[in-house]
């Protein structure tokens, strides 16, 4: 989501999932508690509101995914009560050509989340355009490299290298420099200039 803003949320787990979605370049729209459906349960008519809806652009195709964010232990202990609402949500989503997914901390509390939390601050900083331009030019010459090697190639002194670090993380946060966010981000992580 280009804005860098974050939708509302009800739990820290949901907040972290929204942060991950917000940092995904495929995600175009995030809606918190997007709709309510009604379904029949053992104890009568009930209602259910999923946590998040995200519209993603996969290649040239727009897809909508609806997410329920729950701790794994809650899923296990409350499955009997949760199952009818999830079944109703799956049917509701299928009718619209959407996907319904249950997300737990195993999907969320990952190295990707740590990287996203680290990089988020660089999205809102004033862009360091001159340093970014120097780093992008150097990255175009070097090809695949590491943050440490890129900084050393772009700037001679250790002081200049240190001053360019925020510009490098801005480039990573904006996707102009590509990195695998599923592994811990370090100064020796593989990076390359984006397309």
131, exposed or middle or buried, with CB in 10 Å at 0-12, 13-18, 19+?
A: buried
Residue 7 lies in a domain: no
Mean pLDDT (the chain) is: 93
Segments forming the whole domain that contains residue 132: 111-193
pLDDT in tens, 156-189: 999 999 999 999 999 999 999 999 999 999 999 9
Residue 6 lies in a domain: no
Tell me the three state secondary structure of residue 86: helix
What pTM did the predictor assign? Answer: 0.85
Determine the longest span between alpha carbons in the chain, in angstroms: 71
Cβ pair 119, 172 in contact under 8 A: yes
**Spatial separation of the C-alpha atoms in residues 76 and 165, rounded to whole Å:** 44
Same domain membership, residue 103 and residue 17? yes
The domain total for the chain is 2
Q: Tell whether 22 is covered by a domain.
A: yes
- Of 68, 83, 108, the one marking the end of a domain is 108
Do 103 and 124 sit in the same domain of this protein?
A: no
Please, which pLDDT band fits residue 10 given cuts at 50, 70 and 90? low
Q: Answer yes or no: is 44 within a domain.
A: yes
């Amino acid at each position: 989501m280009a804005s860098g803003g974050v939708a509302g949320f009800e739990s820290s787990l949901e907040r972290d999932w929204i942060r991950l979605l917000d940092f995904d370049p495929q995600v175009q729209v995030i809606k918190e508690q997007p709709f309510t459906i009604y379904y029949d349960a053992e104890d009568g008519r009930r209602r259910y509101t999923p946590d998040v809806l995200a519209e993603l652009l996969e290649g040239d195709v727009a897809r909508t995914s609806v997410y329920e964010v729950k701790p794994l232990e809650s899923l296990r202990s409350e499955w009997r009560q949760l199952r009818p609402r999830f079944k109703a949500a799956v049917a509701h989503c299928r009718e619209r050509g959407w996907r319904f997914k249950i997300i737990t901390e195993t999907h969320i509390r990952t190295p990707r989340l740590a990287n996203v939390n680290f990089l988020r601050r660089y999205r809102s900083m004033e862009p360091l355009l001159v340093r970014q331009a120097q780093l992008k030019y150097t990255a175009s010459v070097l090809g695949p490299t590491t943050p440490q090697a890129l900084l050393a190639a772009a700037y001679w002194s250790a002081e200049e290298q240190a001053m360019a670090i925020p510009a490098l993380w801005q480039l990573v946060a904006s996707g102009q420099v590509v990195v695998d966010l599923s592994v811990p981000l370090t100064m020796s992580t593989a990076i390359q200039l984006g397309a």
